[in-house]
Amino acid sequence: MVLKFANGPDFAAAEAVGAFFAQNTSATRISSFFLFGSAVPFGVFAVTTVSWLRFLKVRAAGVNIAFFGGLTATFALILSALSGWIVSLPDIAASAPLAKVVYFFSFLSGGVAYTVGFRLLAAGVSVTSYFTRLFPLWLVVLGMIVAVAGECSSLSLVAYPANFFIPITRYLGFVWMLLVAVKLTRNRRPEQMQSTMPLP
């Protein structure tokens, strides 16, 4: 849900933002509903992945970093969805300045806040899995690419072109999530890992 960039980094004018949401109330609410719904399975994935790593006897700071990143990204999606729903209210949309503020908050929450959280999740899982040999190198590299893209997206707060990294993190990250889910379900049990785990 991104308006046309009529004025560069400032997005559309406040009046255009208010008019857009006033004319698309139902579409905005439906979009917010599905965004809110997507936060639930994402959070479940993050928590389940961390839990699985712990079940496999992984003891590293990266596991906790991944947990923190997963929760950050999940709550970012929730905030983005709820604020998106709020801006669909007639009283909010009728106030052009207020509508633009709420819209910006929704965009930033679902954009840079989400991708930076995803970056921590991907980096935590990938680095930990590399040292414990849970994932093949190509999957670790893919996770680090997602992490780097997520980190670069934070530059969008000071450099507008860096917004380009937000969709890269989202779509490439989705592919990474699917591959991680498949790989973890096929991984070995703790007792089978002891021979390959590096000595402390």
List the chain pLDDT tens, one digit each, 200 residues: 444 443 443 567 778 888 888 888 888 899 999 999 999 999 999 999 998 888 878 788 888 999 999 999 999 999 999 999 999 888 888 888 888 889 889 999 999 999 999 999 999 999 988 888 888 899 999 999 999 999 999 998 888 888 899 999 999 999 999 999 888 877 655 544 444 444 44
Distance CA 31, CA 35 (A): 6
pLDDT at residue 195, as a whole number: 44
Cβ count near 105 (within 10 Å): 18
**Domain assignments of the chain as residue spans, ordered by start:** 12-185
- Contact indicator for 168, 149 with CB cutoff of 8 Å: yes
Distance CA 157, CA 138 (A): 31
DSSP secondary structure string for all residues of 119-134: HHHHHHHHHHHHHHT-
pLDDT at residue 187, as a whole number: 64
Identify the H or E element spanning 55: helix 25-55
- Contact indicator for 146, 169 with CB cutoff of 8 Å: yes
pLDDT at residue 140, as a whole number: 92
Contacts of 56 (CB under 8 A, 6+ apart): 132, 134, 187, 188, 189, 190, 193
pLDDT at residue 188, as a whole number: 57
- Contact indicator for 187, 134 with CB cutoff of 8 Å: yes
pLDDT at residue 116, as a whole number: 94
pLDDT at residue 196, as a whole number: 45
Q: What is the CA 31 to chain-centroid distance, rounded?
A: 17
